[in-house]
Structure 1
Amino acid sequence: MANIHYKSLPEKTADLLSDYLYQQNFRSGEKLPGEIVLAKQFDVSRNTIRSAIKILKENGTLEVQRGSGTFMAARKNLSSDPLGLTLISDKQKLGKDLIDVRLMVEPKLAALAAEYATPFDIKNLEEICKVNSNPRVPFVLQESHFVNEIPVL
């Protein structure tokens, strides 16, 4: 059975704060409103706002300068989220949007792969398809084998 992770109030607040910063178009180095203002705006305690800010600080979104306030980070932590997908709170819409993007890109890529495929590539793909049609081989193994064997253009 899959583990279900329910987000804590600070995690939910961090998501809401992240969305707010994105929607309000906060720029690098721009100062955020104070904790009291944010707590009222999100209808949570100051401690919850502090925890949310800490979460966003740890993921590279915010910088806290003691005595000066909280600021948008000079540069986002690109290594953990290069596309900034964690900033999007509506994960269902994100999933649909990503599928739409794949539908726009992948058919053209498949056409190019077919256009530039060598006889060796075609023979190799035919062999992979034979393996994938074997009902005795679990689907997960079939798919991973297929992906690992796709020729690089």
Structure 2
Amino acid sequence: MNQVKRLSDNIAEDILSMITIEERFLPGDKLPNEVELSEELHISRTTLREAIRILVTNGVLEIKRGKGTFVKQDIDLSHTMQSLNDFTHARIDAKDLYEMRLIFEPEAAYYATIRASDAELKRILEYGEQIEEKINRRQDRTDVEQKFHKEIAKATHNELIDKLMPVIFQSIDKGVLLSQQNELVIKDTLNDHKMIMEFMKARNPEGARSAMKIHILHAMKDLRIE
């Protein structure tokens, strides 16, 4: 059952990409009929119907009886991207989330180290110090951990990176939750964050990239989600 659900979510994402990224289908356009689209996507008609249902539920598509399936006229890109986040949220597990971080965050640390203003760098270092304090006091660090990583993403000065942060937050939240009783994770987090901060403070982008990668790989290993 989970496999079918997962496949239909993936197909919904593919159709959404055809609309928002490829612009193959514009607002008001009719989608190809069920037989044609299922053959093109190499899926069953049942899976296609489920994917379409997901997109209808999220306000992307509408079904007009006797006419077919259409892209909604008043579709809004930011809303559809939020919808994408919403309906994929349920199926993303810790491994997927950490792999996403592994792809994204080392490069974000690299560009942030190069592009951060002095004020942005100061905030990153302050949040890093607050995380250390929270860990040493055995206090919940979820909020400040999010701020630390968000500030790094913001310092890349790449507007699209901000769009990915809700996904990154899912991973951070899950990681903090899983690590609360894991002394090894806590120890590695302290050491890794210090390393990231030292390289960023020294404006060493290659070092910051490597330190961030090590940090995420440590978490995956310690939490046994490799």
* TM-score (ref. length: structure 2): 0.41
Q: Which runs of 5+ in 1 are unaligned?
A: 118-124
The 3-state SS of whatever aligns with 2:70 is strand
**1:18 matched residue in structure 2:** 16
1:137–1:95 distance in 2 versus 1, CA, 3 Å: same
Asked if 1 retains the 8 angstrom alpha-carbon contact of 2:62 and 2:71, the reply is yes
Asked if 2 retains the 8 angstrom alpha-carbon contact of 1:61 and 1:77, the reply is no
The 3-state SS of whatever aligns with 1:67 is coil
Does residue 68 (structure 1) correspond to residue 67 (structure 2)? The answer is yes
CA–CA distance in 1 between the matches of 2:59 and 2:68? 16
CA–CA distance in 1 between the matches of 2:4 and 2:49? 16
**2:136 matched residue in structure 1:** 136
**Letter matched to residue 111 of structure 1:** D
Instruction: Show the 5 A alignment for 1:1-150.
Output: 6=3, 8=5, 9-21=7-19, 22-23=21-22, 25-74=24-73, 75-76=75-76, 78-79=78-79, 81-82=81-82, 96=103, 100=107, 104=111, 108=115, 110-113=117-120, 125=126, 129=129, 132-133=132-133, 136-138=136-138, 141-142=140-141, 144-145=143-144, 147=147
CA–CA distance in 2 between the matches of 1:39 and 1:111? 53
**Letter matched to residue 16 of structure 1:** D
Q: Which moved more, 1:18-27 or 1:29-38?
A: 18-27
* TM-score (ref. length: structure 1): 0.56
The 3-state SS of whatever aligns with 2:136 is coil
| RMSD of aligned residue pairs (Cα, Å) | 4.5
Between Structure 1 and Structure 2, which shows a larger proportion of helix residues?
A: 2
1:13–1:94 distance in 2 versus 1, CA, 3 Å: farther
Q: Which runs of 5+ in 2 are unaligned?
A: 87-96, 152-226
Offset of residue 70 of structure 1: 1.2
Question: What percentage of aligned pairs have identical amino acids?
Answer: 20
**Letter matched to residue 36 of structure 2:** V
User: How many pairs are equivalent?
Assistant: 133
**Letter matched to residue 132 of structure 1:** E
Cα deviations across residues 48-99 of structure 1 (Å, max 9, x unaligned)? 222211111112221221122211122137457359768xxxx967974576
1:141–1:72 distance in 2 versus 1, CA, 3 Å: same
The 3-state SS of whatever aligns with 2:16 is helix
The runs of at least 4 aligned residues of structure 1 exceeding 6 Å deviation read 83-86, 91-95
1:142–1:48 distance in 2 versus 1, CA, 3 Å: closer
Higher Rg of the two aligned structures: 1
CA–CA distance in 1 between the matches of 2:15 and 2:116? 38
The 3-state SS of whatever aligns with 1:141 is coil
Asked if 1 retains the 8 angstrom alpha-carbon contact of 2:60 and 2:80, the reply is no
Q: Which moved more, 1:98-107 or 1:13-22?
A: 98-107
